[in-house]
Amino acid sequence: MAFAKNGSVCIHYERMAAGDGPPVILLAGAGRPSTDFDYGFCAPIVAEGFVPIRIDSRDTGRSTALIDTHPDLHAIKAAALGRGNTPPPYGIADMAADVLAVLDAEGIAAAHFVGRSIGGLVAQQIAIRNPGCVLGLALVMAMSRSMADAVPDAALDRLMAEDIPDEDAYVVRQLGVAQVNGVAGDFDAGRVAEEARTAWRHGIHRGGTARHFAASLAVPDLRPSLGAVRVPTLILHGRQDKVIPLERAIETAETIPGALIEVDETMGHDGPPRLRRLWGERIARHFAAVRTSI
C-alpha cells in the first residue's frame, strides 16, 4: 500500500497499472472510497497507455478519517448562503492539497484528472491553483459551486443522523441510495450489494459523507476563476441526475474555455457497470486526443 502525507493527514493511493505512461488521477464522490474506479472503468484508460492512480480521499478508504468530528450541516449551509460564519471541518482546498501530496510522493509533475461529483470540485480547484499540474480534465456529474441553495434541509438531517454500524447496514443504505439516485433499469440488488461490501471492506467511515458534504457546501463559487483555466475538459452528466441538476454541469462547461459536455439521457447520479465502462472509454479517448495535440 502507498501513502502520502499532507500534514497530519495520510492519503492512501493505488496505481492501477504498471509502466511509465502519463498518469491519470482518479477522485471519487462524497464519502466514497477509490474502489468506485474499478478495473472495468480503468481498462480502456490503461489500453491507451495511461497509468490510472486511484486515491482514497480523506475520510474514505484507508486514508485518515476524522470520525470524532461532527459538522453542523445546517449552520454550514447558512454560512454558504451568507448567514453566519460556520466553517466546515476542512475544505475543498484541503482535499486538493491531499492530492498534490500524492503527486509529490510519486514525483509526478503533471497528470490528467478524473473527478466524480465532489471529486470534480477537487480537480477544478487544482486546475485553478496549480494549472501546471493538470494536462486534462474529465468531470463526471459536474458542478462548480455550492449546492447550498438547492439541497433540502431534510437531506442534511439524514446525513447528520446517519449511523451505519456494520457491513450489512451499509448494504441496506446503498440499496436505498441506488433506488433513489439511479435509473430503474440499472438497478440490480445483487450488484449493488456486492459493490457496497467491497467499499465497506476497503473503508467506509462514520460521518465521512457528512464531512465531505460540508466541504462541498462551503466551496466558494469557482466560476470566476475557471475562465482562466486552459485545460482540455470533458464533462459527462446525466439528464436524470437528481442530486446535481444538469444546469450546474452546463454552467460549468460554459465557464471553462473550450470545455465539451456530453449529456446521457439514461444517467442519474449513479455509476452502474455499463456507465463506468462507457465513461472509461470516452475519457480514454479524450485524454488520448489531448496527448496527440500536445
pLDDT at 148 over 80: yes
Listed by start position, the domains of the chain span 2-293
Name the CATH topology of 2-293. Rossmann fold (3.40.50)
Question: Under 8 Å CB-to-CB from 3, ≥6 apart: which residues?
Answer: 10, 11, 12, 13, 62, 105
pLDDT per position as a tens digit, 11-39:
999 999 999 999 999 999 999 999 999 99
Question: Of 36, 9, 195, 186, which Cα lies nearest the Cα of 118?
Answer: 36
How far apart are the C-alpha atoms of 58 and 63, rounded to whole Å? 5
Q: Quick one: average pLDDT of 162-169?
A: 96
Give the predicted TM-score (pTM) of the model.
0.97
CA–CA distances in Å: residue 185 to residues 188, 265, 279: 8, 13, 18
pLDDT per position as a tens digit, 115-138:
999 999 999 999 999 999 999 999
Question: Under 8 Å CB-to-CB from 190, ≥6 apart: which residues?
Answer: none
How far apart are the C-alpha atoms of 113 and 103, rounded to whole Å? 12
Looking at residue 291, its pLDDT comes to 72
Kindly state the helix (H) or strand (E) to which residue 156 belongs, with its residue range.
helix 153-161
pLDDT per position as a tens digit, 64-119:
999 999 999 999 999 999 999 999 999 999 999 999 999 999 999 999 999 999 99
Across the beta sheet with 233-238, the strand order is 2-6, 9-15, 51-55, 23-27, 111-116, 134-140, 233-238, 260-264
Question: Under 8 Å CB-to-CB from 49, ≥6 apart: which residues?
Answer: 19, 21, 22
Q: Quick one: average pLDDT of 258-286?
A: 97
Can you tell me which residue has the cell 455499463? Answer: 274
Looking at residue 293, its pLDDT comes to 65
Q: Cβ distance 11 to 98 under 8 Å? A: yes
Instruction: Round the average pLDDT of the chain to a whole number and report it.
Output: 97
**Ramachandran angles phi, psi of 111, nearest 5°:** -150, 165
Residue 1: band (very low, low, confident or very high) from pLDDT cuts 50, 70, 90:
confident
Q: Quick one: average pLDDT of 185-207?
A: 97
**Ramachandran angles phi, psi of 26, nearest 5°:** -110, 120
